[in-house]
Amino acid sequence: MFTPSIGSSSMAYSEELAQRIRDEIGAHPALVEKQMFGGIAFMIHGNMSVGVAGDELMVRVGKENDGAAMARPHVRPFDLSGRPMAGWVLVAAEGLSADEDLASWIDTGVQYAENLPLK
């Protein structure tokens, strides 16, 4: 099970960040929220797009976009068990303070999920 490296142990995930994601995604017709990785995931057509673990944003960027995503500030590999998951990154809270930055990451994750086969 994922244990967030940032934030208090009594808070599984930042509800404030989750609400900012809800506000940004809006009424997407294929959106489903699901408890996952000790946080919350936002699924599009059954595929995870973004999520919240602690106060960090999980973003599905795709393996082909790992390098570009990792080059952005406040980003680290998404690592649950000592083995980073290719195609996924975590964005620290410092990289999400501007609404434009959060919107950009959400757009990346949602677009990636929208282009995957339906589950």
Residues in a beta bridge with 20: none
Would you state the structure tokens that stand for residue 28, as one six-digit string?
């997407």
DSSP string, the chain: ----SSS-TT-SB-HHHHHHHHHHH-S-TTEEEEEETTEEEEEETTEEEEEEEBTEEEEE--GGGHHHHHTSTTEEEEESSSSEEEEEEEE-GGGSSSHHHHHHHHHHHHHHHHTSPP-
Query: Which pLDDT value is given to residue 4?
Result: 38
Would you state the structure tokens that stand for residue 96, as one six-digit string?
């999400």
Per-residue pLDDT of the chain (119 residues; tens, 9 = 90+): 333 343 334 458 999 999 999 999 999 999 999 998 789 999 999 999 999 999 999 999 999 999 999 999 999 999 877 888 999 999 999 999 999 999 999 999 999 999 999 88
Classify residue 118 by its DSSP letter. Answer: P
CATH architecture label of 15-114: Alpha-Beta Complex (3.90)
